[in-house]
Amino acid sequence: MQITLLVGTVFGNARQIAQTLALAAPDYGASAQVLDMQDQTIAVFDTPGFLVLCCSTTGQGDVPDNAQGLYQSLEAQARYLGHVRYGLVALGDSSYGDTFYGGAKAFQNRLQDLGAQLVGEVCILDALAADGPDAVALAWFASWAEQARSLDTSASSPT
Ligand SMILES: Cc1cc2nc3c(=O)[nH]c(=O)nc-3n(C[C@H](O)[C@H](O)[C@H](O)COP(=O)(O)O)c2cc1C
């Protein structure tokens, strides 16, 4: 099972989480690569395997600058993404109220409109939470990877 972790970040927290998950991937029989959203287009969603978007929020519920191009490409070059199965790690700060994890939500909404399938629950990492984000993300990843594996048609099946 292949996993591509796509990073949208301002200060690097989302990248750190993605790297933590990539290191854990072999524990679940997966290989992982971490890609920055910068310079990516909708074409990245054709990468074989599963995608995990790790995206923070800036401004008032906005996607980070390095994610803007990809986000806009999902509209400007919109096409059906029914082949896409992805996970979502949403970084934010609940003190922002209504715009809490708005950046990740924006991606989720656009991907839903294009027919992409969200696997599992969204992993919400609140900067105000007492638990460290790495531990929360790793706990989420354990169940996410299991769900992804059950959907993985590239795995060899008994004949
Ligand atoms: C200028 C600024 C604006 C922010 N706006 C929001 C927001 O609207 N909603 C939210 O949930 N978090 C917001 N945050 C919190 C960040 O998303 C959070 O700190 C996150 O962990 C940053 O991750 P990153 O280093 O990957 O960018 C904001 C942070 C800053 C510095």
Q: With a 6 A CB cut-off, is 66 part of the ligand 1 pocket?
A: no
Structural domains of the chain, ranges and CATH numbers in brackets? 2-151 (3.40.50.360)
Atom of ligand 1 nearest to the CA of 54: 26
> How far apart are the CA of 107 and the centre of ligand 1, in A?
15
State the pLDDT at residue 76: 98
Atom of ligand 1 nearest to the CA of 55: 26
Give CA–CA dist 123/14, Å, rounded: 12
Computed on alpha carbons and rounded to an integer, the radius of gyration of the chain in Å comes to 15
Sequence-separated (6 or more) residues with CB below 8 Å from residue 14? 7, 8, 54, 55, 56, 64, 89, 91
**pLDDT tens by residue, 93-117:** 999 999 999 999 999 999 999 999 9
**Nearest protein Cα to ligand 1, atom 18:** 92
**What number of residues does the chain have?**
159
**Nearest protein Cα to ligand 1, atom 31:** 58
DSSP assignment of 61-88 equals: TBPPHHHHHHHHHHHHT----TT-EEEE
State the pLDDT at residue 9: 98
pLDDT profile of the chain (159 residues), mean per 10: 98 98 97 97 98 98 98 98 98 98 98 98 96 96 96 67
> How far apart are the CA of 54 and the centre of ligand 1, in A?
13
Residue with the two structure tokens 């980070």: 64
**Nearest protein Cα to ligand 1, atom 12:** 92
* DSSP summary character for residue 57: -
Give CA–CA dist 104/23, Å, rounded: 22
Listed residue (128, 130, 132, 89) closest to 108, CA to CA: 89
Sequence-separated (6 or more) residues with CB below 8 Å from residue 109? none
Q: With a 6 A CB cut-off, is 57 part of the ligand 1 pocket?
A: yes
Per the CB < 8 A criterion, the answer to whether 1 and 18 are in contact is no
